[in-house]
DNA sequence: TATAACGGAGTGAGCGTTCACTCCGGAGGA
DNA sequence: TCCTCCGGAGTGAACGCTCACTCCGTTATA
């Protein structure tokens, strides 16, 4: 897997991210990926077993990057409400600054690929490493706090993250021009939805 | 367009709904649609210019049906909060009872098809006919009421509908077993998010 | 019989994947 | 130092296959 760090390999993954985000998985032939990466078609198969594995690799890299970006914003000293809002705002800002990544992830999760991944993620209660989801989960389900409604996880999840995905989609579609104030308003709305 | 009512045509559209919902647009060949509808491949092209037009027709029919179903639940006498919650619950129940339709619509809106449609829909302020969106819009943006936060439409939309889409996806993925109580909880959460 | 509706083998374009080949940097013998 | 050789990264034409769509012979209808 150290192969993933070579220059060519990164070029392939970058091209895949860019093209899949704009054209969809089925809309981007491997030939185009190779062309865009300045690489021969065959080279793709030197690094990845097939197209699916390439997609999964790009997804894994994106998730890692996102987790890292969010982890920076962590300040566990804040009260629940403020911590939640800061994290939601960070999440939105990160996705707005990386629209290709958002679009790729949307493609990914709305395909047979992502369904399983999502399932794994949600069903595993104990996250292995210091995941970014940890702080979220602690706020949302920390037994001590009692600042959040006592409802099943998926309900809280939906109320907290559903609006985030929606609004970013609208922004990228040009239906609204988000700014810091509006993002703050949205995050507060999400909090109002889940707070006791 | 009256052709759309013939038996064969309805069979084709039904098969398309079922197959696209479960396999995705690119995953369902026209040959399979024809087979599943008990019809020759050529017949599809007797009713629809191409595969795209077929997809659009199925979408239009679904939307019409959904609007009709929701319109039945309308009781404009209720106060804003209760009206909103009833409508959200109706929407969720309708989609849960018609999972194929939900999955089809998800496919549709997450593809180049739907993007434009969504754009049209949101940008047109004045809806032509007595659309189901009307009552929603009246609650959310009726100048008189002042029961809902004074925020741009897309923000309110996201807070109101984002969680709905999320939770249905989770339900259909088997991550949660929704019941009337939980649906009510979710709808109340959505209201808490947008109410003043 | 004349006309319209239907069916499904056929067509060509486009896809993911393969594999026989090229190319090049460096190891090793002279 | 120079030359030969070699391993493996890199390549892209070719392959097998699937697809949306067409076309014309067949069947139903009037």
- Average of pLDDT values for A17-43? 91
> What is the model's pLDDT at position B1?
41
Show residues of chain A in contact with B115, CB under 8 Å. 173
- Average of pLDDT values for A73-102? 88
pLDDT band for position A36 (cuts 50, 70, 90) = very high
> What is the model's pLDDT at position A111?
76
pLDDT digits (tens, 9 = 90+) for B31-78: 999 999 999 999 999 999 999 999 999 999 998 888 888 888 777 778
pLDDT band for position A72 (cuts 50, 70, 90) = confident
- Is 50 exceeded by the pLDDT of residue B126? no
Find the chain B residues whose C-beta atoms sit closer than 8 A to any C-beta of A: 24, 26, 106-107, 110-112, 115, 118-119, 122-123, 149, 151-155, 157-159, 161-167, 170-171, 173-176, 182, 185-186, 189-190, 192-195
- Average of pLDDT values for B125-131? 45
Test A182 with B155 for CB contact under 8 angstroms: yes
> What is the model's pLDDT at position A128?
44
Count CB atoms within 10 A of the CB of residue A128: 6
> What is the model's pLDDT at position B125?
44
> What is the model's pLDDT at position A80?
83
Distances (CA, A) of A76 to A14, A64, A80, A138, A188: 34, 21, 9, 10, 18
- Is 90 exceeded by the pLDDT of residue B20? yes
- Is 60 exceeded by the pLDDT of residue A123? no
- Average of pLDDT values for B173-191? 94
- Is 50 exceeded by the pLDDT of residue A125? no
> What is the model's pLDDT at position A191?
96
> What is the model's pLDDT at position A64?
87
pLDDT digits (tens, 9 = 90+) for B94-117: 999 999 999 999 888 887 676 666
DSSP tag of A126: S
Kindly report the average pLDDT of chain A as a whole number: 83
> What is the model's pLDDT at position B129?
47
> What is the model's pLDDT at position B132?
47
3-state SS track over B36-83 = HHCCCHHHHHHHCCCHHHHHHHHHHHHHHHHHHHHHHCCCCCCCHHHH
Secondary structure of chain A: what % helix, strand, coil (to 5)? 70, 0, 25
Test B174 with A24 for CB contact under 8 angstroms: no
Show residues of chain B in contact with A112, CB under 8 Å. 24
Kindly report the average pLDDT of chain B as a whole number: 84
> What is the model's pLDDT at position B173?
84
pLDDT band for position B139 (cuts 50, 70, 90) = low
Question: Which among A110, A123, A158 is the nearest to B167, CB-wise?
Answer: A158
Name the residue with higher pLDDT: B84 or A190: A190
CB B156 within 8 A of CB A182: no
Show residues of chain B in contact with A194, CB under 8 Å. 189
- Is 90 exceeded by the pLDDT of residue B146? no
> What is the model's pLDDT at position B115?
61
Q: What percent of chain A is predicted at pLDDT more than 90?
A: 49
Distance from C-alpha of B155 to C-alpha of B150, rounded to nearest angstrom:
10
Name the residue with higher pLDDT: A127 or A70: A70
pLDDT band for position A1 (cuts 50, 70, 90) = very low
> What is the model's pLDDT at position B7?
86
pLDDT band for position A174 (cuts 50, 70, 90) = confident
Return the sign of the alpha-carbon dihedral for residues B68, B70, B76, B77. positive
DSSP tag of B195: B
**Residue B138 exposure: Cα atoms within 13 Å on the Cβ side:** 16
- Is 60 exceeded by the pLDDT of residue A91? yes
Distance from C-alpha of B35 to C-alpha of B32, rounded to nearest angstrom:
5
DSSP string, B147-193: -B----HHHHHHHHHHHHHHHHHHHHTTS----HHHHHHHHHHHHHH
> What is the model's pLDDT at position B134?
55
> What is the model's pLDDT at position B128?
44
């Amino acid at each position: 897997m150290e192969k993933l760090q070579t220059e060519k390999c990164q070029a392939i993954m970058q091209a895949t991210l860019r093209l899949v985000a704009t054209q969809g998985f089925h809309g981007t032939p491997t030939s185009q990926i190779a062309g865009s990466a300045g690489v021969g078609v065959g080279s793709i198969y030197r690094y990845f077993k097939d197209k699916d594995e390439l997609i999964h690799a790009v997804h894994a890299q994106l998730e890692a990057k996102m987790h890292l970006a969010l982890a920076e914003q962590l300040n566990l000293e804040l009260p629940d409400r403020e911590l939640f809002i800061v994290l939601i705002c960070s999440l939105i800002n990160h996705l707005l600054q990386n629209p290709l990544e958002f679009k790729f992830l949307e493609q990914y999760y709305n395909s047979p690929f992502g369904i399983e991944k999502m399932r794994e993620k949600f069903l595993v209660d104990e996250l292995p490493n210091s995941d970014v989801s940890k702080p979220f989960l602690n706020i949302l389900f920390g037994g001590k706090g009692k600042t959040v409604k006592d409802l099943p996880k998926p309900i809280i999840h939906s109320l907290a993250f559903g609006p985030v995905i929606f609004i970013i989609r609208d922004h990228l579609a040009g239906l609204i021009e988000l700014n810091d104030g509006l993002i703050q308003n949205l995050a507060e709305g999400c909090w109002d939805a889940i707070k006791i």
